[in-house]
Amino acid sequence: MFYQQIIKGSIKFVILSMLEKQQMYGYGLIQTAYQKTKGFFQWRQSAVYTALGKMEKEGLIKSRWKPAGPSKKRKYYSLTTKGKELLIANRIEWLAFSKNMNKLIGTT
């Protein structure tokens, strides 16, 4: 489906946006996206963890292990300065894109 291509292509942008608000762990990102969109965003775990790994290598996010129970740890991710800068640039592009796309498809 068409929307699935858009969701796949925007995973980095959405993750950066979610991490702007708070530090999160991988599965928490998946659950939050699913809940906030009432199931519209159904990310595969492998897609999210692959994206997180690439984003960390690119210096967009950083990670830190935190306790999540007596013998359990979770890897929490947060934005770096570089990630915040990319998020701002992506938002500007997204607003221009969506505004002009709406003009073309007749929703404005």
pTM: 0.89
> Could you count the other beta carbons within 10 Å of the beta carbon of residue 15?
25
Overall number of domains in the chain:
1
What tens-digit pLDDT sequence spans the chain (108 residues)?
677 888 888 999 999 999 999 999 999 999 999 999 999 888 999 999 999 999 999 999 999 999 988 889 999 999 999 999 999 999 999 999 999 989 999 876
User: Could you tell me the two tokens for 67?
Assistant: 């306790």
User: Could you tell me the two tokens for 28?
Assistant: 């928490």
User: Could you tell me the two tokens for 108?
Assistant: 């404005």
Under DSSP, is residue 1 helix (H, G, I), strand (E, B) or coil?
A: coil
Quote the DSSP letter at residue 38: T
Q: Residue 25 is part of a domain; what is its CATH number?
A: 1.10.10.10
User: Domain residues for 54?
Assistant: 2-105
